[in-house]
Structure 1
């Protein structure tokens, strides 16, 4: 059906990630993916879904070493290992408040840990309609909604995120001036489907995918926030990216209504190794 053309992981949530040629997939997703996050004093998880508060994180990069250590490269080029007190101090200066790097997600009901903030975008389908009325304005002046990361993790929802070249090509056709580089959407897997329809993943929900040596279940389409519009690496800021998605591809997501989506979230059914060039096979309902 298709072929894996790119693999990426993000050792620190909302920082730049790293390109891979092959990776072990465990029950919690790609080995080393989102194993750390930046937390503030209230335990709020740092996410560039709230760019005014956490945007500088997208100028940092996370790397996983061969022995499992995570290193953060700061915007000035300084690279420090997780656990170094100087790293927390530098991140705090970068963000203008006390923060720390943590590999311990908190999902305790009633506690502050695990809270995830998202800015409410202007385009339709950026958040469920019912949530717009519950948005509050915080100290940055942004209208935000709050949720929680997936229990016991720093993931927003599914453990693996997949984007197809077919979907990106369709969006590029709708907005030729937009740069629909897959990195904007922060996928773990980019799959080339040369003969597929515009958005082939729309038909995959609840199906299973064999990708290399791993088996996945497709959980739900991936609702998109403002992150694809932000400047990252050499890609400039481009608000037209999500305006195009909102116009071209709003689809039902659970009971949340029609949301602006690119890609799908996956859960891991069978761990294994995935490499660039591996075949992707749709197996039907899992």
Structure 2
């Protein structure tokens, strides 16, 4: 059994360079839809796109439910610490069984050099420790802190925002994988251009049952610029956000932002193509 740790406060393989089609978002457009759903079994590693998924009280079961830990300081690994951990976003994560049942289910970590490590192997911690050169363990989130997300259990991006970013940053079409959302949707009334900023405190219903409330903009960091899979490094994408959508969050200075965090109000199963409508509080 994997050791369990508290939350961090803070692909299964498959890579998706989103091509956002221009679309008319005028009054004649009646439907706003879900266009993509992702979850990330291991914090800071590659994600998996699915057609449908259950969203619970604490977000998507199994999303960021595992993390590597430096045993010496009991802190979860982050792709931001590349000097210590290398590029974790180049690590693919494969499920050893179909989704369903208890989480975490066994996973296989596949590194770029082809090395594969199964979480069900009793010796995985020794293997990982030899790989990284210091005591390392693969741990599961504690039951009372069910995931190693940074600030909120759900991360949502508007499709029009991605189209707008492509216009601002045409030299390298931004891939949705750089921003690691759980959901890519059409926000009701979206006209593109970082519309998520206007949705803090508001709610949407997705499909039949799921209702989520948006809590704060998502500030971006160096992870958006890092190479992963067939995506090259792209330092300019973060500068583009800093130039066009820097927001003051809390007591800090302006931060480059894209997307929005959310929490679950009513749980439910959702799928690609589901309707998205604004929900009154």
Normalising by structure 1, we get a TM-score of 0.78
C-alpha separation in 1, matches of 2:54 and 2:94: 16
For residues 109-166 of structure 1, what are the alpha-carbon distances to aligned partners after superposition, in whole Å with 9 as ceiling and x for unaligned? Answer: xxxxxxxxxxxxxxxxxxxxxxxxxxxxxxxxxxxxxxxxxx6631101100111121
Q: Where in structure 1 are there 5+ consecutive unaligned residues? A: 108-150
1:233 paired to 2:263: no
Alignment RMSD: 2.2
Secondary structure of 2:88's aligned partner: helix
Tell me if 1:242 matches 2:238. Answer: yes
Matches of 2:77 and 2:143, distance apart in 1: 13
1:178 and 2:208 aligned:
no
CA drift of 1:205 comes to: 0.1
Choose the corresponding residue for 1:43, options 61, 69, 74: 74
Are the equivalent residues in 1 in contact too, given 2:202–2:214 (CA < 8 A)? yes
Name the stretch that deviates more: 194-203 or 173-182.
Answer: 194-203
1:99 to 125, 136, 140: 136
Preserved contact between residue 14 and residue 57 of structure 1 (Cα < 8 Å): yes
- For the residue of structure 2 that corresponds to 1:90, the secondary structure is helix
1-structure distance, mates of 2:86, 2:161: 26
Rate the CA distance shift 1:168–1:55 in 2: closer, same or farther, 3 A: farther
Partners in 2 of 1:89 and 1:50 — Cα distance?
Answer: 21
TM-score, with length taken from structure 2 = 0.79
From 256, 265, 275, the counterpart of 2:271? 275
**Do the aligned residues in 1 keep the contact of 2:108 with 2:118 (CA within 8 Å)?**
yes
Match of 1:115 in 2: none
Q: Is the 8 A contact 1:62 1:70 kept in 2?
A: no
The verdict on how the C-alpha distance between 1:55 and 1:191 changes in structure 2, with shifts beyond 3 A counting, is: farther
Q: Distance in 1 between the 2:173 and 2:127 partners?
A: 32
Deviation at 1:209, TM superposition (A): 1.4
SS in 2 for 1:170: helix
In the superposition, relative to structure 1, how do residues 50 and 179 fare at CA in structure 2: closer, same or farther (>3 Å)? farther
Q: Is the 8 A contact 2:34 2:271 kept in 1?
A: yes
Aligned length in residues? 242
Deviations 1:78-107 (A, max 9, x none): 544324233323322332322110004599
The answer to which of 33-42 and 51-60 deviates more is: 51-60
Tell me what 2:202 maps to. Answer: 207
Structure 2: distance between partners of 1:282 and 1:256: 31
CA contact (8 A) 2:225 2:236 kept: yes
**Equivalent residue runs for 1:123-202 within 5 Å:** 153-192=147-186, 196-202=191-197
* Native 8 Å contact 2:67 2:139 kept in 1: yes
